[in-house]
Amino acid sequence: MAFPVLPQLPLWVVYPILIIAFFISFFYIIVLLAGKKEEPKAKNYFPEIAFVIPARDVQQWIGKCLYHIIKQDYKSKIYAVVVNDASHDRTPEIVKELAKKYNSRLREIIIVNRLKSIDKKAAAVNTGIRYVLKNLKSVEIIAPVDADTFIESDAIKKAMGYFEHDKNTMAVIGPLMPYNTEGFLGKMQYVEYVMSVFFRKLLHYSSALCVTPAFSIFRAEFFKKYGGYNENTWTEDFDMALKVKSKFYNIAQIDSKAYFVAPENLKKLNTERVRWAHGTWQAMFKDYNYMISPKYGAVGTFFLPVTVVLGTALIIAALLFLIYGVIAGATWFFHNLAIGWKPVLEFKISFFDVSVLLSDPRFILAAAGILVSVIFWFYAQNYSKRKVNLIHYLLFFIPYTWFLAYTQLEGLIRYIFKLKMRWGEMHTQRKLN
């Protein structure tokens, strides 16, 4: 042979990917059509609430974060407990200034100082939670929120509706949207979050919601009974959600949004997503693998086994198939060149060729998949009340989804081979140090 070639992939490999993708999609469509629940309104339950804000070198954002907390449309007392995680910048001074400015009968900013940081958000949040449980005994609700996250003014009021109407609801999350949407990555993350908050709402409708991201609201009793965040995982948020669900409590999602500062470059985004992937695999293989069971409802039968494990495994498989396909295609290209074939740019396709292509079930199913994704695109915009440009939506699938698949693969490799992980820079002023 003139040039060694790799065998081409059999075309049936597409089927398992299509089947899983269809199953996940149809589950969501059925929930969308049949599972909708009205958002309950709070009538009598307006307890005292304490926000816990881990803050390390966040002078750029902490003021905005606190402002949105102070300005909550909520008639009971709100504490904002800022845990200064050994900041090197002006974060503590800014917090003190804001406390002087805003502290009143119904609003109070408190600063708790950690003299030495172990560079883990969970540790700082736990410090805040311990402070609240020990010193603010009248507080019934604790809401950890990242310092670079800004919540809408009716978020707390809406969350109380869920707590009042369902005593099994232990956590309520706010849909996150990126605050910074400039540039290609900003736009892609915007599309990603518009879609993900929509799917999370559907998971909420099906009692399968199992995430507590940068803005989550908990009953304080949960922390009293079961302790705070796991400091030995790379995804303390996901770990906490699994902990809530493992105790058979519900997690709900309100419609009021929270805006967070998204990673603004590929390196930071990659570090963040690899960390998430690593933490997810850790939870699935080690800490919470027992939850893949019908005992845990749709979390144990759909969310964890199908969406998280199978869905992620398939997207990794699809990425590997793509890479293999490109390499194999290249070997064939060079092989063909070596035997005298010359590439020509010609577009010669007959009606018969097209009609034969259309008769391929893979093509028909892929077309159905495109239709389903258009339905999701439409409803996700409706739910989030945000427009998503169709071109951006297409770019989200190619190449952004491939990038996400890569981060999953890297996270899995790092988990399996116990490679070094990084928390990554927060989107802050740390570079000033």
Partner 1 sequence: MPRKNTKEEKQRIENFQRESKRSSRFLLAAVIVTVVILIFGLLLGNYLATSRLQKFQQSEEMFLVDLIALDFRESLGQNVCDIGLDGLWNDKVELGQMLTSLERRLGKDSPQLTTKREIYELIEIKIMQNLEDIKTNCHEDFNIILFFYTNKKNDQLGSAAGSEDQGLILDQINRDHNDLGQGKKVYILVFDINSQNPASLTLKQKYNITKAPSLVINGETHDYMVKDEIEKLL
Would you tell me which residues interact with partner 1 (CB under 8 A)?
1, 18-19, 22-23, 26-27, 29-31, 34-35, 168, 206-208, 246-250, 290, 294-298, 301-302, 335-336, 339-342, 344, 350, 352-353, 355-361, 363-365, 368
Query: Please, what is the minimum distance in Å from the beta carbon of residue 209 to partner 1?
Result: 11
Query: Please, what is the minimum distance in Å from the beta carbon of residue 7 to partner 1?
Result: 10
In the bound state with partner 1, the residue whose beta carbon lies nearer, of 68 and 200, is 200
In the bound state with partner 1, the residue whose beta carbon lies nearer, of 361 and 399, is 361
Query: Please, what is the minimum distance in Å from the beta carbon of residue 156 to partner 1?
Result: 25
Query: Please, what is the minimum distance in Å from the beta carbon of residue 334 to partner 1?
Result: 13
In the bound state with partner 1, the residue whose beta carbon lies nearer, of 290 and 378, is 290
Q: How many CB atoms lie within 10 A of CB 256?
A: 19
Q: At 127, give phi and psi (nearest 5°).
A: -60, -45
Q: At 126, give phi and psi (nearest 5°).
A: -60, -35
CB 231 within 8 A of CB 242: no
| Sequence-distant (≥ 6) Cβ neighbours of residue 394 within 8 angstroms | none
In the bound state with partner 1, the residue whose beta carbon lies nearer, of 134 and 294, is 294
Query: Please, what is the minimum distance in Å from the beta carbon of residue 198 to partner 1?
Result: 16
How far is Cα 247 from Cα 226, in angstroms, rounded to an integer? 9
Query: Which one, of 244, 248, 215, lies nearest residue 230 by Cα?
Result: 244
In the bound state with partner 1, the residue whose beta carbon lies nearer, of 13 and 266, is 13
Task: Give me the count of residues in the chain.
Answer: 433
Query: Please, what is the minimum distance in Å from the beta carbon of residue 347 to partner 1?
Result: 15
Helices 14-34 and 183-205, interaxial angle, to 10°? 60
In the bound state with partner 1, the residue whose beta carbon lies nearer, of 13 and 368, is 368
3-state secondary structure of 69: helix
CB 205 within 8 A of CB 37: yes
Q: What is the Cα 382 distance to its own chain's centre? A: 20
In the bound state with partner 1, the residue whose beta carbon lies nearer, of 352 and 417, is 352
3-state secondary structure of 347: coil
Query: Please, what is the minimum distance in Å from the beta carbon of residue 29 to partner 1?
Result: 8
In the bound state with partner 1, the residue whose beta carbon lies nearer, of 155 and 202, is 202
Read off the tokens for 187: 């736009």
In the bound state with partner 1, the residue whose beta carbon lies nearer, of 20 and 55, is 20
Query: Please, what is the minimum distance in Å from the beta carbon of residue 166 to partner 1?
Result: 9
Question: What string of DSSP letters covers 164-224?
Answer: HH-TTEEEEEPPEEES---HHHHHHHHHHHHHHHHHHHHHHHTT------SBEEEEHHHHH
3-state secondary structure of 142: strand
3-state secondary structure of 270: helix
- Beta pairing class for 48-55 and 176-178: unpaired
DSSP-assigned beta bridge partners for residue 171: 218, 251
Query: Please, what is the minimum distance in Å from the beta carbon of residue 9 to partner 1?
Result: 15
Looking up tokens 């507080």 gives 139
